[in-house]
Structure 1
């Protein structure tokens, strides 16, 4: 199968490397990055395994690179939220010619695509099995990320999209990735968006990653802010009752705070968050204010979320 990946970041290159074992993968990148990418990317994917020590996947990936779209059976759009608008003009003509799959963190992707792509012409997903950052040094491109056992998500079947979904599932599972279906993928994306968009504020408030892991007051405030974000999702009409972590957030805040602290303290989580934070801070900052503005639009009180705004607008972690 020929697969086109639009977006040569951590997600696009990591998924591209895994998919290239069984398929012909072509990566579309901006012209100023194309030659650098053709020289190869050094990848190290740490395999999350809890107590079990598992060797990372390490290799050098010289992708086939283009600067304009090419014909492919499957197209993955993996640019980040801030740059999606830049590739939409190139992606739109692909509708009907390829199985078109958008895989990125997004607050309301359906609204952004509404005027250029009919909903039946594309599939939504999320590349949650990989998270990390770039390790570029001396002009040599590198990626260090965590590969989780689960986390790749696609929307559930509909008759109009069954062919596209079957193509995507076939390619992803052949690459050793685990695919889970979500009944409301757009809603799932919105709820998931809260976690990344909020995290920068508590990190700054606590004074750093390691401090946040043990600061129960900061973690409790984070839980309260996440509840406010979930309320905004409900105001948008999203049924959050079965979309994690919304159900867990209904537990007493002090109990959820303990769980958050344990999650952040895990080596896999720490490595992923810090690596992403090193290059993705602007995306996190934009997401924070995007959710806050939505709360204002729907009249949802967000006092805790809003309290982080001065820090997020101009702070830096220590």
Structure 2
């Protein structure tokens, strides 16, 4: 449908502020793609003790990518049309030997990517654990097999207090 007057005003304000707009027609699906992408990588970072330890770690990044690939059926089960998000899921559909190698190089040599990983490296932060717990709970609820995420569960499971 055509944008409302308010939507046009917001777009104009962003443009006048010098920002370029990139709109997502399926914002909910876009968020889900990023959520499971984070879950795949977070699961391996938490397993190592910190997401920053994934920087340059080809084998561990490969496991994170494979964990993300195992979550693609969860997206489908949630109603996400993966064809609309080709760019977002390409990282998980491409050969992991190649994507892990490229990602390892980027995390080791490209400061903005390394800084992104470092920003999620607080060992006491709950966000990565919650993302993994929520994703695993949803996969279990929908009967989606996610063996890599399940294998990493001890790294993000809630501690049982007695």
- For Structure 1 versus Structure 2, the TM-score category normalised by the shorter chain is 0.7 to 0.9
Question: Out of 302, 306, 316, which is 2:150 matched to?
Answer: 306
Task: Specify the SS of the correspondent of 2:5.
Answer: helix
Segments of 5+ residues of structure 2 without an aligned counterpart are none
Tell me, yes or no, if structure 1 residue 285 matches structure 2 residue 123. no
Structure 1-normalised TM-score? 0.44
Distance in 2 between residues matched to 1:277 and 1:168, nearest whole Å: 34
Q: Which has a greater percent of strand?
A: 1
- After TM superposition, list the pairs within 5 Å mapping 1:157-196 onto structure 2: 158-159=1-2, 161-196=3-38
Give the superposed CA RMSD. 2.5
Question: Out of 255, 262, 271, which is 2:105 matched to?
Answer: 262
The CA deviation at 1:189 is 0.8
Q: Give the equivalent residue in structure 2 for 1:247.
A: 90
Does the CA-based 8 Å contact 2:52-2:121 persist in structure 1? no
Counterparts in 2 of 1:276 and 1:205: CA distance versus 1, 3 Å: closer
Distance in 2 between residues matched to 1:263 and 1:231, nearest whole Å: 28
Question: Out of 42, 65, 70, which is 1:200 matched to?
Answer: 42
Counterparts in 2 of 1:210 and 1:288: CA distance versus 1, 3 Å: closer
Q: How many residues align?
A: 157
Structure 2-normalised TM-score? 0.82
Provide Cα deviations, 1:246-289, integer angstroms capped at 9, x if missing partner: 12321212112112213323211222332344399212221111
Counterparts in 2 of 1:304 and 1:279: CA distance versus 1, 3 Å: closer
Q: Which has a greater percent of helix?
A: 2
Tell me, yes or no, if structure 1 residue 273 matches structure 2 residue 147. no
Q: Which has the higher contact order (CA 8 A, sep 6+)?
A: 2
Counterparts in 2 of 1:169 and 1:187: CA distance versus 1, 3 Å: same
The CA deviation at 1:209 is 4.7
Provide Cα deviations, 1:119-174, integer angstroms capped at 9, x if missing partner: xxxxxxxxxxxxxxxxxxxxxxxxxxxxxxxxxxxxxxx33x53332122122222
Distance in 1 between residues matched to 2:8 and 2:46, nearest whole Å: 43
Distance in 2 between residues matched to 1:167 and 1:280, nearest whole Å: 41
Counterparts in 2 of 1:258 and 1:314: CA distance versus 1, 3 Å: farther
Counterparts in 2 of 1:205 and 1:180: CA distance versus 1, 3 Å: same
The CA deviation at 1:176 is 2.2
Segments of 5+ residues of structure 1 without an aligned counterpart are 1-157
Task: Specify the SS of the correspondent of 1:246.
Answer: helix
